[in-house]
């Protein structure tokens, strides 16, 4: 018989998960199968997000190529930062965003949106899939597809074995994650909720083309996450897992008066096997303490990381 959550150490976090699933499934009248919904952030929750989010690496490579095509972009952000490998500037924009300061976010967003504008959704997916299957993490000496967290992948599978539908609800790009979501996490394409650009359809003799525009549709972060979860799943989740300030509202939304619920917050505190940081999660950690969320220590709760 398989041991449930074998990649987790026998500590309070694992016990909380097992107890939650038992309470949800022991009596189907308490939580019918069609109400078993779990949602997971991606960056820093399901796969590694340091020294930069994986999608940011994908975008920066395109921005460098754009500078080489048009040197005039070199003096503009974020093309300058990408070309000069000024990762400190890029990191500061993300840090400031999670701290509530978006003064430089518009500049970064403009580059992000322009990087893959005016191409078809199929072509974008081809580029994303090629990158994710070939690029390597800059410091961990492994491919990006080997940067998913084994304990979280195991948790996804364990929940599905007990009748849960699992969704990804990420601030990252929906269409960037879709090519590998099934392969990495067992989450089908329609289970991926994420940020999106505006799309435009044009008719042609080949059945029409959907093209990416250099305009944001929505950023799936903060208070937008519960909205997008409801829009896609039509349910308030019973379990949510995140790791940053941008996940607070999603975890808050996972609360019921008449059903079991569980909120997991991943704490990155293992510099030997992964990274040690709390930047961008300060408010979430405080909220976890105030509300009794289950904090998952990478160092103490996971037998293995990747």
69 with 28, same domain: the answer is no
**pLDDT digits 0-9 by tens, 69-105:** 999 999 999 999 999 999 888 888 877 887 788 888 8
257 with 162, same domain: the answer is yes
pLDDT of residue 1: 56
The conformation of residue 116, written as its DSSP 8-state character, comes to: T
Instruction: Assess if residue 271 is contained within a domain.
Output: yes
The conformation of residue 163, written as its DSSP 8-state character, comes to: T
241 with 282, same domain: the answer is yes
Q: CA 20, CA 6: separation in Å to the nearest integer? A: 17
Instruction: Assess if residue 293 is contained within a domain.
Output: yes
**pTM over 0.75, yes/no:** yes
101 with 232, same domain: the answer is no
Q: CA 175, CA 196: separation in Å to the nearest integer? A: 7
Q: Which domain holds residue 62?
A: 54-115
Reference 298, options 278, 269, 276; nearest CA is 269
CA 80 to chain centre: 26
Q: CA 293, CA 154: separation in Å to the nearest integer? A: 20
Instruction: Assess if residue 158 is contained within a domain.
Output: yes
Instruction: Assess if residue 133 is contained within a domain.
Output: no
Dig out the tokens for 299 from the structure. Answer: 């160092």
What pairing do the DSSP bridges indicate for beta strands 37-40 and 239-242?
Answer: parallel
What pairing do the DSSP bridges indicate for beta strands 239-242 and 276-277?
Answer: unpaired
72 with 101, same domain: the answer is yes
Instruction: Assess if residue 258 is contained within a domain.
Output: yes
Asked if 58 and 131 count as a contact pair (C-beta separation under 8 A), the reply is yes
Reported as type and span, the H/E element at residue 296 is: strand 294-297
Instruction: Assess if residue 5 is contained within a domain.
Output: no
Asked if 250 and 158 count as a contact pair (C-beta separation under 8 A), the reply is no
Q: State the 10-residue block means of pLDDT for the chain, 306 residues long.
A: 90 98 93 97 98 94 96 94 89 81 86 95 98 97 97 98 98 98 98 98 96 96 98 97 98 97 98 96 97 98 98
User: Which among 115, 136, 156 is the end of a domain?
Assistant: 115
- The alpha-carbon radius of gyration of the chain (Å, integer) is 20
pLDDT of residue 88: 85
Q: CA 303, CA 306: separation in Å to the nearest integer? A: 10
181 with 284, same domain: the answer is yes
Instruction: Assess if residue 251 is contained within a domain.
Output: yes
**pLDDT digits 0-9 by tens, 39-79:** 999 999 999 999 999 999 999 999 999 999 999 999 999 99
Number of domains in the chain: 2
Instruction: Assess if residue 204 is contained within a domain.
Output: no
72 with 174, same domain: the answer is no
156 with 38, same domain: the answer is yes
């Amino acid at each position: 018989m398989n041991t449930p959550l074998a990649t987790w150490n026998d500590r309070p976090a694992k016990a909380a998960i097992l107890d939650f699933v038992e309470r949800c499934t022991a009596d189907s009248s308490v939580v019918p199968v069609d109400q078993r919904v779990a949602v997971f952030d991606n960056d820093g929750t399901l796969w590694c997000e340091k020294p930069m989010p994986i999608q940011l690496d994908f975008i920066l490579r395109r921005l460098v190529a754009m500078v080489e095509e048009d040197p005039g972009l070199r003096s503009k952000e974020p093309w300058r930062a990408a070309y000069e490998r000024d990762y400190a500037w890029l990191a500061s924009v993300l840090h400031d965003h999670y701290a509530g300061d978006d003064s430089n976010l518009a500049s970064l967003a403009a580059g992000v949106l322009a990087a893959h504008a005016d191409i078809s959704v199929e072509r974008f997916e081809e580029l994303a899939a090629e990158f994710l299957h070939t690029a390597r993490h800059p410091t961990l000496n492994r491919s990006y597809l080997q940067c998913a967290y084994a304990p979280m992948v195991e948790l996804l599978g364990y929940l599905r074995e007990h009748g849960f539908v699992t969704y990804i609800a990420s601030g990252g790009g929906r269409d960037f994650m879709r090519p590998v979501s099934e392969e990495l996490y067992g989450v089908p394409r329609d289970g991926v909720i994420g940020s999106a650009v505006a799309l435009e359809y044009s008719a042609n003799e080949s059945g029409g083309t959907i093209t990416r525009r250099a305009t944001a549709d929505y950023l799936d972060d903060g208070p937008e996450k519960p909205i997008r979860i409801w829009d896609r799943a039509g349910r308030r989740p019973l379990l949510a897992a995140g790791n940053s300030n941008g996940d607070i509202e999603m975890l808050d939304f996972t609360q019921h008066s008449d059903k079991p619920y569980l909120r997991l917050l991943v704490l990155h505190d293992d510099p030997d096997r992964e990274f040690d940081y709390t930047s961008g999660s300060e408010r979430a950690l405080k909220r976890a303490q105030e509300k009794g969320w289950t904090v998952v220590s990478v160092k103490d709760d996971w037998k293995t990381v990747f």
